[in-house]
Structure 1
Amino acid sequence: MKIFKKDVMVLIVLLLYAAVSVLDIFNDGNGILQLMLALLSSFVVFYMPLLSFKPKKLVNAVLLMANIALLVITYINFRVLLVNILFLSYLIWNLITEKLIQYKFLLPFTLLVSYVSVYGASFLEFSIPLFIIVFYPIYVLGFITNRHNMVKTKKVWGFTIFNILFSGLALIAIMYKALGKSVLRSLLFLNIENLGTVTAIYLPFLAVFLAWFAASFNLLLYLPLQKFQKSKKSFEFTVYISTVYRFIMFFVVVVLSVFICEFSIRQSFLTTLHDILEPNLIFNIIFLSGIYLSLISLIGKGISNVIIALVTVFLTLANYIKFTYFEEPFYPWDIYLIKNLFGISKEYLNATFVITALVAFVAIVLLIIHFRSNVLKYLKPKISLALIPFGAVLFLFSMNVLDHSSLSTQIGIQKSWYIGRSEILANGMLAQNYYYLYDLDKYLNPKPKGYNQDKILAVDKKYEMPADQATSTTKTKLHEKPNVVVIMSESYWDLSKLSGIKFNKDITENVHKYQKGQLAPPAIGGGTANTEFEALTGMSMYFMSPGIITYNAYLRTETPSIASVFKDNGYNTTAIHPNSGWFYNRDKVYPYFGFDKFIDVTGFNMETEAKGPHISDNALVNKILSELNSSDKPSFIFAVSMENHDPFDNKYKDYEFDVTVESDQLDATQKEIIRGYAQGIYDADQALGRLIDELSKSDKPTLLYFFGDHAPRLGTLDEYYKVYDKLAVENKSETEQKLGELRYYTTPFVTWSNYTELRSFSKIISPSHISYEILKDAGVKYPNYFNILAQLENNYPIMHQKGMDLINPDDELVQDYQLIQYDILFGNQYLKDIWNK
């Protein structure tokens, strides 16, 4: 009976072998046909060990070389024959399995090899037949079941059914997410070449779950045919339970860790469950798999589990707290907040939470002490040389994806100059934290040499204004404090500086009429927040690393600014920006700066006050006037416009243009961009003129400051430099100050007052100097450290990352400035304490 069964099975295998070969001839890459061929092939592979064909060494070598030659020929034509791969696989597997079967970890190890190999091969520049690797676990299990009698036990059935259910559900989930992503076309793993990143990250899971499911299902089909008895050739299959359990637990640890971390930032179980198999989070799972496997190979599983658990718990708690109370992720450089942790926690912690945390901590410590022998055994370091290359492959190829935007953007992951909620949700916590750590040196500001309280006190004393100059420095003595209005105009640049362009009207009429100088903002084409950071605080981006957005990276506590100074002088302080308040963290930062009120886009009506996609500059002026007239107290208003934000082409397609552009040096696309930008400049200029007219009618003394936050993007980064180079006219001040590349950065600076004459600036200056000028003009009392800006204006009017050669870092003045900035942003804020006394 047993011989009959074997002969029948051999016949079935041979028939299926033939059927698979015929089907493969008509295989056009259809995903469903690929899946059918894969399942049929798995059946053939499982029963291959039944075949009695065992060629001698010489014959085996000849057949092997002949099949390899056939494989090479088919590869040249990009058409690998499945029958060739099946026979080649049999020759290789039949040769090596007899020697490897003695190792009990062989089956789970082949799954690991499959998982890692498919991932690594996906990024190779050449194709490789992975069928031999992916389907080998099926052959190994078939070898075991066909060559040995199984020990009669219920565990075999239970274990097999469990594996079918576990691997089957995982396979269905991955295939469901993989549909429509051309992944199924690669299920035979014959030609793995030039795959997109999406396919590359799904294929390893498809490979391992397909092999796992096929091996388990074929075993279940075979069990009724297997004679259960004990004999010399019997094999206790349940010894595989522990090793397969380890394999399962590996992925459970990784997936659970990623899931918990993502839940902490999404704060919704269903949302996290929905997102966990999206390409970006699947990549995070692979990335963590590489880290986890590398740790296991170097220090053993026990310590690795503890490390993964601690990191998961830390990131989860840190991000949950930050998202709950600050609506932003935890950043590695948040160590600067440690000094404020206890002060902040008082607002959110209660006695129940503290007691529960302490009880839990004590319980854990007691358990560790009680089971210390088991704990020490569990944590015993153990190196595994065999696993090192697999961990390295997973980790290095994942880093390769993260470091190359052409790969990472395919799965929705990319490094952004803007960091915040949307970036960590898009990239996943692990990928985003990799970017954080990669750029960590940019965010960590080392303590300047000599920083201490005595040094800061000495610096404060050094820049104290003499008593006879401590009164108002404005030319006209006032009986009441003046209103102060500061407008930072989005992308405002003097377009009239371009040669070879004609406009039908003067688009910068009012700016030129009241212009008193030029600024060199720290950004170009974007990074608005850094310009306003300099203007509001008097500090400089010169001391920061490139790419830093201070609002996102550092400002998490009360920080002195001219807003807080005006507030201390009895002013109402208002910030206005008709954009989403969360952008650049303004809704958090402005209160830290001392603004009593922040009006974001929700304070405007998009139906009636917008022009193009944004709130108009005209509406912004209306809001400023309304705020000035709503209080009897003096007002400090800082307004950031939005209308002229890029992109500029097709921006005003539903509006009538006031401005026409003529140029024989620009192509049609460039001309359209210039026309859209010119209309925005004209609108900003007209709004400024109307504001000045209205303020002129008021009997309230008023100071007005207007400047652009940065030059615009006139196309892509490369293109707008080309436009500037082609059409820009050299400016006298730019030439005299040897600005070089900084000539692209300059924007107009306008000042106006209805009661006094304000000074003009002969040199181009950094926006940080605006703060000192505003405080001095307003005649308010302010901290001594602002006075350093007067000396800096004489010696270093521009401090800019693009003009490092213009600064002597060893100058005591520069070093004092750095000490002041460090104390306020990262130090103990001694200067703030001095001012508050």
Structure 2
Amino acid sequence: MKHKLNLCKEYLASNIGMVFFCLTPLATFLMVEVLEFGGADSECMLPTSLSFWVNLMFYYGAFLLFRAVTGRTRFSIIFLNLVFLICGLINYYSIDIRNSPVVPWDLYAVTTAAQALNGFQWTIPPQVIACTAGCVIWWIITMLLKYPTPRLRTRVGSFAASAAMFTAFLLIATVGRDNFYISAWRQVTANRRNGMALNFTINMDSLFNEAPTDYSRENAATILSSVSAAQTADGTAKQPNIIAIMDETFADLSILGDLNLENIDDVMPFVHSLSNDENAVTGQLVVPAFGGGTCNTEYEFLTSNTYAFFKAGSYPMLQYIHDDTESLGSVLSEQGYNTVAMHPYYGSGWARNRAYPLMGFDQFLDIESFDEETTEILRRYVSDNSSFDKVIETYEKNKQTGNPLFLFNVTIQNHCGYDTTYDNFPETVEFQWDSLYPYTKQYLSLIQESDRAIQRLIEYFRQQEEPTIVVYFGDHMPFIENSYYNRLTMFSAKTDADITMDEHTVPFFIWANYDIPNYDAGRLSANYLGPMLLETAGAQMSEYEEYVYSLKETYPVISASGCINKHGVYVPLEMAARDLHDYKIVQYENVFDKDVKRGSASGSGSSPVIGSAAS
């Protein structure tokens, strides 16, 4: 009798353990979603939503697979619960810090992300404490319970069930992805509706690029040859030095609404004054980034490729530059320029130390090239003043070579975050409600410093005898309080599409210390700025650049957030697809089929190789 009671107790104990195991995937899924959003408005947690059941397929599949492989129930519970807790924490802080969950393309930028996180203040909200404590309690209970050792038949059955669940999960997430909320620009909302696992999987589609319909090398060559070689360089004119500056997070928030400044009239008076300079071209640049993604703007500028034809969330500079790539660096190098890239931060960010040599730059000066004793630091970054001092130093050294200089400088001063005050940076800009928006107050004060720094640089080159052109533009708008953006656009009569376009617009100018036409270029996308710079400098464009530049007359703006036609009318990208199909073909050839030889400059008799055979 006693023996039977013991068997009964063991049976009940093992069954309780298995019930606990069966509840663990559900509890883990709910823990991850509560961790990210505190459970508020998380549609994926509702049993009435499809995403609830699809996510459960993933979690149950993972636990069954791990138990089938290891044969250890207790270890499977604790290990996978810990893994998903860590994933949930990473996702939570990703949303908290940069307003975006973790997505597949972030895997290309792990190093850059780690560098950017150094200056953020870390907080531990209630849901992080509650979920972590809940997991610890779950592990303790797991250790106290007993579990039967799974037999081979059970493990095989678990493996089969896991395979079925993962197959169903992947099919629904890929083939049936239209049943879920998909938005490249509203990933937080997508994550809330779809759940972490499902949303990440849905976004995997963005990693793959398919050739356009009718693509062939012959077709691409025919399209490129259709543009007449109208550009010819003046062989007798002295080639100007070209200084290109992409200023980190330099943007004009007043395009969205009244800033209600109180102690000053303008945070960038010098940049705005250049519209009256007789040797300056000014305008507004539509960029592919918002709040981050600097490399996508510099990629458009340097290569003339539009981000609109890549899958949402791509980082072409990281993903697609693996061999020689045509860019302003290679095109100007072919014309006798010494080409230098500069960035006063870690060279590994966005893989610049790998990409720049492949883009034709002779030299890359990163933070290691700056003198620690003489370099000015604002907050925790190299100031624009010190960055521009390095530009001047490089220019002076280049004089001795007898060759013109092309220098591309990506600054760092204005990089986010803006959540910490610093003794070395007084925040001088005051505006209505500034106590409610400390991030914005710090950001606007930084922009004021950038404006002063670029004025100082322009005044230096104004005194130089060597002909020099300076092109200056921002990479994206800042990651500041969402509520401030909402306040700026609260009473706007613009459509959501127009506001989105404004949120992807930054100022730019091209200035020279010699006579160039003065005009307002209006609004154009970043893929046109490189060819416009070459035209202004009297340099030759590549065949590809000339083709791209010819499209500006029809669509001065081509971007992932939409297009603007020659009449100034917004056109959704899908509506302009037919008009832009040829561009898509030649860009695909330019990016993914680079073993095709192409002339480096239109109007030249020879056809030197810009790209090399794709490996």
CA gap of 1:758–1:590, structure 2 versus 1, over 3 A, is: farther
Distance 1:170 1:702 in 2: 66
Q: Which amino acid aligns with 1:655?
A: F
1:836 aligns with 2:608: yes
Question: Over residues 536-566 of structure 1, what are the superposed CA-to-partner deviations in whole Å (9 max), with x where a residue is unaligned?
Answer: 1111111123222222332222211111101
CA gap of 1:439–1:173, structure 2 versus 1, over 3 A, is: closer
Q: Name the counterpart of 1:819.
A: 585
Q: Which amino acid aligns with 1:462?
A: S
Distance 1:171 1:712 in 2: 43
Q: Determine if contact 2:287/2:525 at 8 Å carries over to the other structure.
A: yes
1:502 aligns with 2:265: no
Query: Which structure has more helix as a fraction of its residues?
Result: 1
Q: Which amino acid aligns with 2:529?
A: I
1:116 aligns with 2:22: yes
Distance 1:667 1:660 in 2: 9
CA gap of 1:770–1:118, structure 2 versus 1, over 3 A, is: closer
Which stretch of structure 1 is more off in the superposition, 612-621 or 523-532? Answer: 523-532
Q: Determine if contact 1:612/1:652 at 8 Å carries over to the other structure.
A: yes
Q: Which amino acid aligns with 1:48?
A: L
Q: Which amino acid aligns with 1:519?
A: L
Distance 1:550 1:293 in 2: 43
Q: Name the counterpart of 1:471.
A: 233
1:751 aligns with 2:510: yes
1:644 aligns with 2:414: yes
Alpha-carbon offset, residue 798 of structure 1:
0.8
Distance 1:207 1:655 in 2: 52
1:704 aligns with 2:470: yes
Q: Name the counterpart of 1:539.
A: 305
Q: Which has the higher contact order (CA 8 A, sep 6+)?
A: 2
Distance 1:700 1:820 in 2: 37
Distance 1:680 1:813 in 2: 41
Q: Name the counterpart of 2:367.
A: 601
Q: How does 1:671-682 map to 2 (within 5 A)?
A: 672-682=438-448
Q: Name the counterpart of 1:518.
A: 284
CA gap of 1:539–1:831, structure 2 versus 1, over 3 A, is: farther
Q: Name the counterpart of 2:524.
A: 765
Q: Determine if contact 1:518/1:761 at 8 Å carries over to the other structure.
A: no
- Greater radius of gyration (CA): 1
Question: Over residues 287-335 of structure 1, what are the superposed CA-to-partner deviations in whole Å (9 max), with x where a residue is unaligned?
Answer: xxxxx9665348xxxxx8xxxxxxxxxxxxxxxxxxxxxxxxxxxxxxx
Alpha-carbon offset, residue 661 of structure 1:
0.8
Q: Determine if contact 1:463/1:785 at 8 Å carries over to the other structure.
A: no
Q: Name the counterpart of 1:570.
A: 336
Q: Which amino acid aligns with 1:750?
A: F
1:296 aligns with 2:160: yes
TM-score of the two chains, using structure 1 as the length reference: 0.51
1:450 aligns with 2:214: yes
CA gap of 1:446–1:833, structure 2 versus 1, over 3 A, is: farther
Question: Over residues 146-192 of structure 1, what are the superposed CA-to-partner deviations in whole Å (9 max), with x where a residue is unaligned?
Answer: xxxxxxxxxxxxxxxxxxxx9899699979x89x99xxxxxxxxxxx
Alpha-carbon offset, residue 111 of structure 1:
7.1
CA gap of 1:119–1:452, structure 2 versus 1, over 3 A, is: closer
CA gap of 1:174–1:724, structure 2 versus 1, over 3 A, is: closer
Q: Which amino acid aligns with 2:608?
A: N
Distance 1:654 1:201 in 2: 42
**Which of 693, 697, 718 is 2:459 aligned to?**
693
Q: Determine if contact 2:220/2:585 at 8 Å carries over to the other structure.
A: yes
Q: Which amino acid aligns with 1:788?
A: Y
Alpha-carbon offset, residue 647 of structure 1:
2.4
Q: Name the counterpart of 1:662.
A: 431
Distance 1:650 1:433 in 2: 33
Distance 1:50 1:802 in 2: 67
Q: How does 1:64-213 map to 2 (within 5 A)?
A: 115-120=21-26, 196=131, 199=134, 203=138, 207=142, 210-212=145-147
The alignment partner of 2:283 has SS state of: strand
1:48 aligns with 2:24: no
Structure 2 unaligned residues grouped into runs of 5+: 31-44, 47-70, 87-128, 178-185, 189-194, 276-281, 564-569, 601-606, 610-615
Q: How does 1:39-438 map to 2 (within 5 A)?
A: 48-49=5-6, 115-120=21-26, 196=131, 199=134, 203=138, 207=142, 210-212=145-147, 244=151, 295-297=159-161, 438=202
Distance 1:480 1:486 in 2: 19
Alpha-carbon offset, residue 115 of structure 1:
3.2
Which stretch of structure 1 is more off in the superposition, 633-642 or 643-652? Answer: 643-652
TM-score of the two chains, using structure 2 as the length reference: 0.67
Q: How does 1:720-759 map to 2 (within 5 A)?
A: 720-726=484-490, 739-759=498-518
Give the CA RMSD over aligned residues: 4.4
Q: Determine if contact 1:294/1:392 at 8 Å carries over to the other structure.
A: no
Q: Name the counterpart of 2:224.
A: 460
Q: Which amino acid aligns with 1:774?
A: L
Q: Name the counterpart of 1:796.
A: 555
Distance 1:742 1:603 in 2: 37
Q: Determine if contact 2:74/2:142 at 8 Å carries over to the other structure.
A: no
CA gap of 1:172–1:531, structure 2 versus 1, over 3 A, is: closer
Q: Which amino acid aligns with 2:391?
A: I
